[in-house]
Amino acid sequence: MEALRRIAALQKQVEWLTEELANTNRRLENIIRLGTVAKANADTVDIQTGANLAMGAPFFVPAAGRVKHYRRPTVGEQCILINLGSGDNLNNAVALMGLRSDQFPFPTLKENEVMTDYGGGMTEVYNLDAGSVECIYPGGQTIKADVTHIGNQEHTGNTNRTGDSIFTGSFISTGLFNHQGAFAVSGGAGGGVATFEGGMNITSGDVVVDGYSVKLHFHYDYENRPTSQAMKS
């Protein structure tokens, strides 16, 4: 009889351990799970993982201290769900974003490129071998800062400026120079004289030199009589 009682006690203990082991395995399975974003809020996401929905889970960002970064996840984006409570529910889960999926593949697979695709055609690509950056900003770029540029610059397109343009070197234009408004030319700082090479056509205007009009001035003959006005060439 004593042996039967001990066997029965051992059987109950084995059943309890089996149940605890199954419970532990279930908890371990819930610690780390794959999921997709079902809803993206300002600072939390709802993650669908299997048949479960983890609601209000905080999501990781690259930096959240003195340096901060924010990027709201996208619905359908794949992530890793980490259950900090390791229990059956997912109330204490956090979402680790940035996992590639078929819906959102990598923007480049080139070994020498570091690329960010912001969507809408906006991209930034850094070439590790060439040390160059190529940026495409379809909506334009606004910089609020003083800018110092060292090196050559090639520009295609119009340039609209508000403010002065100061050149300490030569200004060379190989195309049409179309200017509207006042135009002042002075000699160099050392007293040099401004010079023009080639012809100049002035339409509906005049050139005045020290008060003398090129268009309206008269010459005088040897008897101090005014001659005719300047003739067209």
The domain boundary residue, chosen from 99, 131, 156: 99
| C-alpha dist (Å) from residue 198 to 129, 195, 214 | 47, 10, 18
Q: 71 lies in a domain?
A: yes
- What average pLDDT does this structure show over 143-158? 90
Number of folded domains in the chain?
A: 2
Which of 99, 124, 155 corresponds to the end of one domain? 99
Both 35 and 71 in one domain: the answer is: yes
Same domain membership, residue 77 and residue 23 = yes
Angle at 156 between CA 155 and CA 159, to 5 degrees: 75
Same domain membership, residue 68 and residue 23:
yes
Q: Judge whether 176 lies within some domain.
A: no
What is the rounded average pLDDT of the residues 98-122?
Answer: 95
Are residues 141 and 111 part of one domain?
Answer: yes
Residue 51, domain member (yes or no): yes
DSSP 85: T
Q: Could you give the CA distance from residue 226 to residue 223 in angstroms, rounded to a whole number?
A: 9
Any residues with CB less than 8 A from the CB of 2 and at least 6 apart, and which?
A: none
Do 77 and 115 lie in a common domain? no
Q: Are both 117 and 57 inside the same structural domain?
A: no
Is 172 inside any structural domain?
A: no
The pLDDT value recorded for residue 73 is 97
Find the range with the poorest average confidence among 95-99, 134-138, 183-187, 227-231.
Answer: 227-231
* Band of pLDDT at residue 99, cut at 50, 70 and 90: very high
**Are 123 and 69 in the same domain?**
no
Give the end of a domain, one of 99, 115, 134. 99
Q: Reduced to 3 states, what is the DSSP secondary structure of residue 156?
A: coil
Q: What is the CATH number of the domain that holds 26?
A: 2.40.50.230
Whether the pLDDT of residue 43 is over 90: the answer is: yes
Query: Is residue 55 a part of any domain in this protein?
Result: yes
What is the token pair recorded at 163? 């403010």
111 in the same domain as 80: no
Question: Residue 194's pLDDT band (boundaries 50, 70, 90)?
Answer: confident
Q: In this predicted structure, what is the pLDDT of residue 29? A: 64
Q: How many CB atoms lie within 10 A of CB 53?
A: 13
Model pTM greater than 0.85? no
Helix (H, G, I), strand (E, B) or coil at 132: strand
Q: Is 193 within the bounds of a domain?
A: no
The residue with greater pLDDT, 177 or 134, is 134
State pLDDT tens for residues 51-69: 889 999 999 999 999 999 9
Give the range of the structural domain holding residue 128, as residue numbers without chain letter.
Answer: 106-147
Q: What distance, in Å, lies between the first and last C-alpha atoms of the chain?
A: 138
Same domain, 118 and 95: no
70 and 124 housed in the same domain: no
Q: Give a yes or no: residue 229 inside a domain.
A: no
Q: Does residue 228 belong to any structural domain of this protein?
A: no
112 versus 28: the higher-pLDDT residue is 112
Residues 28 and 73 in one domain: yes
